Amino acid sequence: MHDITQDICRQVEAKPTLAWLVAFAISVATLLIGSVALASTWWYGIGVWGLNKTIGWAWDITNFVWWVGIGHAGTLISAILLLFRQKWRTSINRAAEAMTIFAVLCAGSFILMHMGRPWLAHWALPLPNTYGSLWVNFNSPLVWDVFAISTYLTVSVVFWYVGLIPDLATIRDRAKITLEENPLLPTDTAEERKAKKAKRRPISAFMYGLLSFGWEGGAKVWARYEYVALILAGLSTPLVLSVHTIVSFDFATSVIPGWHTTIFPPYFVAGAIFSGFAMVLTLMLITRVVFKLEDYITIEHIEVMNKVIILTGSIVGIAYITEFFVAWYSGVEYESYAFINRAFGPYWWAYAAMMTCNVISPQLFWFRTIRRSLVWTFVLSIVVNIGMWFERFVIIVTSLHRDYLPSSWAMFYPTIYDVGDYVFSFGLFFTLFFLFAKFLPVINMAEVKTVLNSTDEKAKKDAEQRIREEQKQTETETVG
C-alpha cells in the first residue's frame, strides 16, 4: 500500500519532470494562441467565423456537442460503474472525472462564444428582474441545456472533489511529516537550515490542509464518505443519460430535416460515451507514460474500455443506418433529400470521414491483439474522436446548408477564427489537465487500495517472477 502512495504522490511532491514541463508549456502556448483568436471573436463579433444566413451554427456547436460528449465518460465511469461495482474503474475514474469537468468547461466556453452578445449570457438564466414577467422561455431546448449542463457540471465537480478529499489529506499528512522531520532549530547553522528548508514543504502542508477540510480518516468519516459517494453516484447516473439527451433535443425538437429525428437521444448518448471513452483512453495512455503509472493503468483496463468502444461504436453505426431507413420510410421528401445530400452531396467527405472513423475503425477492436495493443488503441482512440467531431459537423452543417428552400442553400467554409477558437478549447483543456495531473493525485489512492485484494494474485505472481529472476541472476553470477 505504501508503494501506491509513493507512486501516486511522487508526481505531486517531486519537482516537475521535464516531460510534464514540455507538455504543460505546449498546452499553455496553445491556450494563448487560442486566446488571441477568442479575443478577436469577441471584439469583432462572430462574423469572423464562416457562418452565414443559412448556416447559423457550425464549428461552435459542433465543438460544444463534441466536448459535452467527451465529458460523459468520467461520470459514466465513476457513477454507473460504481453502482455496478465495477472495481476496475478505480484506477481511471479520478482522471476521467477531471477530464469530464474540463471538457464540460470547454463545452461551456463554446456556449458563451457562439452568442452574438456573450456579455448578456446571464439572460439565459431564470434570474428575477425588474420587468416581472420577463423570464426565460421554458419551451426552448437551449434553456434546458443551460439547466442540464450546469447541473451536470455542479454534480461532477462535487463528486470529483469529494472523492479527492482522502487523497488530499494523505498528501497533506506527508507534507506535514516533512515539517516534523525537519524542525528548524535555533541552534542550526545556516547550511543546516538551508538543507532542512529544502526538504520542508510548508506551502503544500497548508494548501492541501485547506483543501482536505481537515479529513482525519476515522471509521465514521469513511462510512459517511461511502454514503455520499453512493448518493452522488445515484444523482449522476441519470445525468449521464439526461445531458446528452437534452443536447440532442436542440436538434430533435426543430423542424429542420436531418435534425428533426426522434432517434437522437439514445444515439447521442451512445455517441457521447463512445467519444468519452476514446478521450479517456487517449489521456490515460499519455498519463501512463508521462507519470509511469503502468502498474495502475493496466492492459486489462485498456481492453475493457476498448470493449465499451466496440459496443457504443456499433450502436452509433446502427443509428446512422436507422436514420437512413427512417428517412426513406417516412416518405418525406425533404427528409430523404437531407440524407441523400449528407452522403452524396457536397459534404460527402465529412460523412465518409464520420462513417470510417466511427463505424468501421472501432470494429478492429474485435481482434484481441489490437484491443490489447497500446499503439492501436492510442491511434484508434484519436480516430474515434475525429469521427465523433465529424458526426456533429455532419448533423449540424449538412442539415442546415440545404434545408427547405433551395434559394437559401449555401456552403460553410471555416475561417482561421473557427479553427483558433477550437484550438483555444484544446489549450484550455490540456492546461487544466496538466495542472490537475501535477498538483492532484491522478489516481484515487484510497480506492485503489481497496481493490488490492483482487490484484493480490498478480502481485504474488509478480513477486514470484521477480524472485525467480533474481535467482537466475545470482545463478548466472555464480556461474560467471
Partner 1 sequence: MKNNKKYWKGIEELTNDIEFVKNAEKEFPDFLPVSDKKGNKNEEGGNSRRDFLKLMGFGMAAVSLAACETPVKKAIPYLNKPENIDPSIPNIYASTYMKDGEYCSILVKTREGRPIKIEGNTMSNVTKGGTSARVQASLLGLYDLSREQFKEGFLKGGKSIDVEKADAEIKRALQGAQGTIYIVTPTIASPSTKQVVKEFAAKYPNTKHVTYDAVSSYGILKANEESFGVYALPTYDFSKAETFVSVNADFLGTWLSSIEYSRQYAKTRKVNDKKRTMSRHYHFESGMSLSGANADHRIQIKPSQEGLVIAALYNEVMGGKQAPTVEDAKLAAKIKQAGEELKANRGKSLLVCGSNDPSVQVLVNAINFELGNYDSTIDLTRPTYLKLGNDEEVNKMIDAIAGGRAGAVMFLDTNPVYDHPRGKDLAEGLKKVALSISFSNTIDETTTLCKYITPDHHYLESWNDAEARAGMYSLAQPTISPIFKTRQFQDSLLVWSDNNTTYYDYLRSYWKDNLYKGEAGGFENFWVQVLHDGVYEPQGWEATLPTTDEETAEEVPAAIEAGGGGVDIQGDAAKAISDIRSVYKPGGKMELALYQKVGIGSGAMANIPWLQELPDPITKATWDNYLCISISDAKSMEVKQGDIVKVTANGHTVEVPVLVQPGQARGTVSLALGYGRTKAGKVADGVGANAYPFAKKNGLATMYAAFDVAIKKTEKKDQIAQTQTHQTIMGRDIIREADLKTYKDEKVFAKAMEDKYAIMIHTNEGLKKPTEISLWNGHEEEYNRNHWWGMAIDMNSCIGCSACLIGCQTENNVPVVGKEEVINRREMHWIRIDRYYSSIIPKDEIEEAKTIDGYKEMENASEDPEVVFQPMMCQHCNNAPCETVCPVLATTHSSEGLNQMTYNRCIGTRYCANNCPYKVRRFNWFNYTNEGQFKDVNYMSFTDLGKMVLHPDVTVRSRGVMEKCSFCIQRIQQSKLTAKTEKRKIKDGEVKTACQQACPADAIVFGDMNDPDSEIVKVLGIEKEVKKVKDDTELSVVMKEPRAFHVLNEINVKPNVTYLTKIRNKKV
Closest to partner 1 by CB, 9 or 124: 124
CB of 108 to partner 1, least distance (A): 14
Contacts 24+ apart (CB under 8 A), 468-477: none
Q: What is the x/- site pattern for partner 1, positions 352-371, by CB under 8 A?
A: --------------------
Shortest approach of partner 1 to residue 409 CB, angstroms? 4
Among the listed ranges 164-172, 254-262, 292-300, 362-370, the one in contact with partner 1 (CB under 8 A) is 254-262
240 contacts 104 by C-beta, under 8 angstroms: no
Q: Which of residues 398-417 bind partner 1 (CB under 8 A)?
A: 400, 402-410
Q: Which of 124, 318, 370, 419 binds partner 1 (CB under 8 A)?
A: 124
Quote the least distance from Cβ 352 to partner 1, whole Å. Answer: 15
Q: What is the three-state SS of 421-444? A: HHHHHHHHHHHHHHHHHHHCCCCC
Among the listed ranges 302-310, 324-332, 372-380, 447-455, the one in contact with partner 1 (CB under 8 A) is 324-332
The residue among 258, 422, 281, 426 whose CA lies nearest residue 343 is 258
Cell output for 183: 524542525
The stretch among 29-37, 85-93, 160-168, 329-337 that binds partner 1 (CB under 8 A) is 329-337
The binder of partner 1 chosen from 26, 80, 136, 419 (CB under 8 A): 136
Segment near partner 1 (CB under 8 A), from 73-81, 141-149, 187-195, 370-378? 141-149
Site string for partner 1, 27-56 (x = CB under 8 A): -----------------xxxx--xxxxx-x
Amino acid at 53: K
Among 237, 253, 298, 356, binds partner 1 (CB under 8 A): 253
Minimal distance, residue 51 CB to partner 1, in Å: 7
Site for partner 1, rule CB under 8 A:
44-47, 50-54, 56-57, 114-118, 120-121, 123-124, 134-137, 139-143, 146, 250, 253-256, 330-334, 336-337, 340-341, 344, 400, 402-410
